[in-house]
Structure 1
């Protein structure tokens, strides 16, 4: 009798553990995985980028886009994770060679101004402005001549055409919007979770 009880208990434990493992794996590889902060803590704003929040907030406010502070933080995260001097990789937006800017503050000022230009040119279309931050403002004109609305397919198409035109192996990051929004969304959910846990 004791052996049967032990067998039942061990079988139940094995089944329970298996379900937990299957749940974790299915969550990690589901389409929503990028929006589960507990599984993707490395995809939230890093302490290095968080240190730049006061400068980013002030610069965004000065440029009249203070409401986009968190999004600019996410751009910074995608560009350098706060580990480069040109934290927003904004040198090229000024027509300079990559990493020419030698001050994080100047990088944030240049990057924020460029993002604002992209927003204005995209008529407030945030995904289009984000992708244009990566591709260049010419992408806005490309989208306007191809239906007028940003889509991931247009980003892939533009990237391929530019790479071919320039004889490069690749051009920009056609998944830039997805990558930036991953940080933005996960950080937002992480904060909401922390707030709920503290209540």
Structure 2
């Protein structure tokens, strides 16, 4: 009886591993896989955001953060996918209600300036700066008071505490770093693939 159970368990394990391998191989060779290897993930910079690259690059350079141009593109993607006039959803960083900015260029200028402030306040820690872009600069102080190192757990904790305090259903996006970095990484992979093909 024990031998039969062991045989069933090992057979189930082999079948499960085969399914995983089959999924990975099919992802690699599906038509969508040209976008992002293994992921079949189309979350890359959209044409709507890509059209703002010259303004974003110029504004990033003017703010001394030109090495973060692609990160700023990913922020714009996460914030609006290029489908709102306030491309970087930066109105609140100026103390105004949401979507008060009525020009994409002004949104990019305000958003890039705020990202730079978050980066300086975070002592160059990109993850902390990104999450602070979403939560507000007070998140930097919150993290500094709790060891000074950004963690997803601290982001979740901060979001929960702020939600309770403000009596809101939720506060910000505690997975903001992961979401922005997904666009950034996927776009890099897509470009690397395109370069190989050419």
- Shorter-chain TM-score bucket reads 0.7 to 0.9
Preserved contact between residue 86 and residue 104 of structure 1 (Cα < 8 Å):
yes
Task: Check 1:105–1:37 CA distance in 2 against 1; reply closer, same or farther (3 A cut).
Answer: farther
The answer for the alignment partner of 1:148 in structure 2 is 148
| Residues matched between the structures, number | 176
Structure 1 length as normaliser, TM-score?
A: 0.83
Unaligned runs of 5+ residues in structure 1 are 1-17, 29-34
Structure 2 CA distance, aligned partners of 1:149 and 1:64? 24
Report matched runs for 1:1-199 at 5 Å. Answer: 22-24=22-24, 36-37=36-37, 39-198=39-198
Task: Check 1:86–1:37 CA distance in 2 against 1; reply closer, same or farther (3 A cut).
Answer: farther
Q: SS of the counterpart of 1:72?
A: helix
Structure 2 length as normaliser, TM-score?
A: 0.83
How far apart are residue 42 of structure 1 and its match? Answer: 2.3
Preserved contact between residue 134 and residue 172 of structure 1 (Cα < 8 Å):
yes
Unaligned runs of 5+ residues in structure 2 are 1-17, 29-34
1:4-32 Cα distance to aligned partner (Å, 9 max, x none): xxxxxxxxxxxxxx86983249969xxxx
Task: Check 1:19–1:169 CA distance in 2 against 1; reply closer, same or farther (3 A cut).
Answer: closer
Structure 1 CA distance, aligned partners of 2:164 and 2:37? 37
